[in-house]
A and B are shown apart, each in its own frame.
Chain A
Amino acid sequence: EAGVTQSPTHLIKTRGQQVTLRCSPISGHTSVYWYQQALGLGLQFLLWYDEGEERNRGNFPPRFSGRQFPNYSSELNVNALELEDSALYLCASSLLYQPQHFGDGTRLSIL
């Protein structure tokens, strides 16, 4: 069974640009979660989607947004990139209210 897949694996952007990160959940999973892991820090919850709807949101500014598609894949969009957005962005999937399974992340570097 394929795990959670994320693309791209690495990305370099400059300040002010916009970026889109993608996540494909484990087959059958309806929930997708996004986390930010800045260097040396723990995982900060960003967003939770289930069945196409946003269920919960972490303490991040509105320039962080996303969506979930009918096939349960998801995108995370970040507008007006800032230097402090440099981080590993992790996606996890699960059946509703079941344990989360993580992908290997997208490493975003802002120059």
Chain B
Amino acid sequence: GENVEQHPSTLSVQEGDSAVIKCTYSDSASNYFPWYKQELGKGPQLIIDIRSNVGEKKDQRIAVTLNKTAKHFSLHITETQPEDSAVYFCAASRSGTSYDKVIFGPGTSLSVIP
């Protein structure tokens, strides 16, 4: 079945450093890749997404890259701040089809040390 792997499971960085989270997916028909941030006691919040016709997308300090050939995609956070500390989930889906079931990775717990 469909699967999304995510690494690392935990990540600690110093404030101001960059953080990178990597994901791989198994379903070659996946065409939509969202990233969610989940703070303690809250539901996941969409922070950035990318579709398969784009290789890279950036929004201020956050960027996502996609390599469809290798079925890899990554989240890059620059100039990290303490408020970036949270659990981050990558996901993949066949958006626009009746198989549009979002498969989530297991999550990465990011800690930004002041």
By a beta-carbon cutoff of 8 Å, the part of chain A in contact with chain B is 4, 33, 35, 41-45, 48, 55-56, 58-59, 90, 92, 97, 99-105
Contact = CB atoms under 8 A, between A and B. Distances in A.
B42 interface: yes
A43 B107 CA distance: 9
A33 B99 CA distance: 13
A42 B107 contact: yes
* Most interface-central of B44, B104, B105 (chain A CB within 10 A): B44
Interface in B38-85: 41-46, 49
Nearest to B4: A42
Interface residues of B, number: 23
Given A45-B102, A56-B99, A104 B46 contact: no
Given A42-B89, A42-B106, A43-B89, A100 B46 contact: yes
